[in-house]
Amino acid sequence: MIRVYNTLSKTKEPFEPVSPGKVGMYLCGPTVYKPSHIGHMVGPVIFDAIKRYLVYSGYDVTFVINVTDVDDKLIAESANRGMPMEKLAAEMTADYMQNLRAMAVDSVDHFPKATDNIDEIIRLTATLVDKGFAYESKGDVYFDVTKSKDYGKLSGRSVEAMQCELSENIRLKRNSADFALWKSAKPGEPSWPSPWGNGRPGWHIECSAMSGRILGKTFDIHGGGLDLVFPHHENEIAQSESAHGCPMAKYWMHNGLMQASDEVGKVGGRNTRTATEGDLASQEAGKISKSKGSSAFSEMLEVFPGETIRFFLLSTHYRRPIDFSNSRIEEVGTGLETFYRFFQRYERVAGESFYDLAAAETREKGDFKPGKDALLADVAKHRQAFLDAMDDDFNTGGGTAALFDLVRRLNKFVDQEKLEASTDGKDAALASLKQGATTLRELGSALGLFLKPVEAPAEADDDLVGGLMDLLIEIRANARKNKDFATADRIRDALGELGITLEDRPGGTGWQR
RNA sequence: GGCGCCGUAGCCAAGCGGCUAAGGCAGCGGAUUGCAAAUCCGCCAUCCCCGGUUCAAAUCCGGGCGGCGCCUCCA
């Protein structure tokens, strides 16, 4: 039984989809007016992992992330750049998509754009006006929060508490907390014809329109950053539920926000990372936000592999805020190496790539009977620990811990059985190892990890380097055979200075950059 | 001011009333190695403070202290 923390109830609830077996999931995506920063990746990575885990658990999941491509910020930025809004939006959307790919976020079924859904937005707005929940005011249309009896139920605010003097520019509204569904166009602004004149959608309405169109009036999971609880999600609820007369989403899930650690910029002096890489995020401590500014995520990807950043994001619970710093990601990367080294080890021992293992795609199929096999008994135990953690509100931190336990157990097995020296007559041990590795692949896949080999730091002359390395290793092997350790160590040390590490293993010498 | 979150080892972090408080990074000791690297084994916390509830609390309640978020645009 999966349990989910619901912001609406502030408790963990058993996860039971509206329609048995089917899950509709909507995540608030970006407003595409600037290149994405790491904060934009948190939600997509987490909800991608959640979708994978739900699919793994046997659900048929439809996952939607919207792209808001018309809004005040877009209009301002495009004017700023002297570029049509559509062109700016297209460029920034492309940047966003590329970043998602790098993070292995590929479980999204729909990326609806606001500008492709203007008709639906107008229809929904008209419905709200017809039903008396919204009113027109000089070409604008506002939602009247006093008409929604439970307005504030998500964020715990009361309409009364939000009342304040109506200032000059919001005199068009009846109450200060009312928000725009439709905004009349000023000259030169992008606009669409509507019953209220030319204009464009307000900020919140596109999510109500698109989630309703694709997932239905009531769907299962609505996600987003904690900062969206108010006003964005509160207003979505007001719009959708007033228009449809039924709950918008059953579970509201909010991820913690990424914080830029104040040590950013100071780390790295010690070893490999240098000061130039120090300000991938804001130099300022505190939340990474638009107003504070932070570097483009694409630049970060030039320094860290996508999978390392993904693992970093998944190594803690999604509701917790995460402090970002380069050193933290480096540490996580060090931990990830343990897995990658095991994959290479597995390939040497088993003669097949870890990435070619056909793992079960559902937890049901992945279940196996360990019998009296001591290794498999432990594998099953760690697998269960992983499932228990994930079932408990998608505790990816606990889940990754189980993954570490699992590799360690597998490495220990390879050591004990001396599989690296020789596998002759060890078919049974190999079979057990394969089952263990397959389980690791199964669980990793459920989080969107270890999907495909990390790209080697590709250098054009790999053949040449490979040939030279073979030669050096051969020369060194001869030296070692002759107890000429001076020569052997000279070779290893010199390579070390070039950033190449030699590993003498039972089966021969290997190397890595 | 209103709403809310957090405080577990040097650092990150799981844990949500009851087994010896997961896991990662760093460090130390050992096995292995010609020496290393990798791997494995071991060591490294009574959970911010003070009260209370309970047979039993890191886990619940109250009060402090210390971080932080939202209330305006934000994933």
Residue at a domain's end among A238, A255, A272: A255
Q: Report the half-sphere exposure of A30 (CA within 13 A, side-chain side).
A: 27
Give the residue nearest to nucleotide B1 (CA to C1').
A161
Quote the tokens at residue A93. Answer: 């959307």
CATH number of the domain enclosing A7: 3.40.50.620
Integer distance in angstroms from CA A265 to C1' B72?
29
Residue at a domain's end among A214, A238, A255: A255
Integer distance in angstroms from CA A160 to C1' B60?
33
β-strand pairing of A3-6 with A508-512: unpaired
Q: Alpha-carbon distance A182 to A202, whole Å?
A: 5
Q: Alpha-carbon distance A275 to A427, whole Å?
A: 51
User: pLDDT tens track of chain A, all 513 residues?
Assistant: 899 999 998 888 999 999 999 999 999 999 999 999 899 999 999 999 999 999 999 999 999 999 999 998 999 999 999 999 999 999 999 999 999 999 999 999 999 999 999 999 999 999 999 999 999 998 999 999 989 988 989 988 877 666 655 555 556 788 888 999 999 998 989 999 999 999 999 999 999 999 999 999 999 999 999 989 988 999 999 999 999 999 999 999 999 988 875 433 322 222 222 222 233 333 333 445 433 445 789 999 999 999 999 999 999 999 998 888 889 999 999 999 999 999 999 999 999 999 999 999 999 999 999 999 999 999 999 999 999 999 999 999 999 999 999 999 999 999 999 999 988 999 999 999 999 999 999 999 999 999 999 876 555 567 888 889 999 999 999 999 999 999 999 999 999 888 889 999 988 899 988
Give, as ranges, the nucleotides of chain B with any atom within 7 Å of a protein CB: 2-6, 11-16, 22-26, 33-41, 68-75
CB-based contacts of A426, cutoff 8 Å, min separation 6: A417, A419
- The closest nt to A232, taking CA to C1', is B74
Whether A310 maps to a domain, the answer reads: no
Residue at a domain's end among A447, A477, A504: A447
- The closest nt to A331, taking CA to C1', is B25
Q: Alpha-carbon distance A195 to A145, whole Å?
A: 22
Total domains, chain A? 3
Query: At what angle are helices A39-56 and A427-447 packed, to 10 degrees?
Result: 130
CB-based contacts of A14, cutoff 8 Å, min separation 6: A1, A2, A3, A4
Integer distance in angstroms from CA A289 to C1' B13?
25
Integer distance in angstroms from CA A494 to C1' B26?
27
Integer distance in angstroms from CA A148 to C1' B67?
37
Q: Provide ipTM, 2 decimals.
A: 0.94
> Is the domain of A26 the same as that of A172?
yes
Give the residue nearest to nucleotide B14 (CA to C1').
A398
Whether A132 maps to a domain, the answer reads: yes
> Is the domain of A437 the same as that of A481?
no
> Is the domain of A468 the same as that of A398?
no
Ordered alpha helix ranges (H), A103-184: 118-130, 159-162
Whether A321 maps to a domain, the answer reads: no
> Is the domain of A428 the same as that of A485?
no
> Is the domain of A443 the same as that of A467?
no
> Is the domain of A474 the same as that of A419?
no
* Domain range enclosing A481: 462-512
Q: How far is CA A205 from CA A38, A68, A303, A359, in A?
A: 26, 10, 38, 42
Kindly state the DSSP code that residue A117 receives in the 8-state scheme.
G
